[in-house]
Amino acid sequence: MIYIFFLALLLLDRLSKYYINNNFVLGESEIILEGVLQFTYVRNTGIAFGLLAGRGWILILLQAFVIVLLLILKLRFFPSEMLINLCFAVLLAGAVSNLLDRILYGYVIDFLDIGIWPVFNLADVFIVAGAAGLIILVLREEFRAIARKDSS
């Protein structure tokens, strides 16, 4: 089930980038919701906010290392917890898709433009949502452990 969810998210991001890459010219924008969302095709050779731009192989190695580290942490500490597995699936789908962009193109295809933030993609949304979910779930468990300890 988790693997299917991971693959579905990965496919969703890959298809969205394929659509943008094949239907937009670099820099082209199309309004989706006036004043809220537009698609703007940009290429990001860096990481968040364009940091480390142009460092291709270093970013590929760094991103691959983080993915492997996340898998090790997941398998070692959270082997069968459903909600945590879902968060890892979301996070890893985004990370793997952006890594595929870097390997295939040398940049990440970004297109979601909300005007007040740098342009991003679905994979970025997955990474943030998955990481936020993991943080919330781990903190919740820590608070529960503290409460159990205090009530003993």
What are the tokens at 42?
């940009």
Distance of alpha carbon 106 from alpha carbon 5, whole angstroms: 27
Task: Tell me the backbone φ, ψ of residue 80, rounded to 5 degrees.
Answer: -140, 20
- CA–CA separation, 100 and 127 (whole Å): 14
Q: Which residues are catalytic?
A: 110, 124
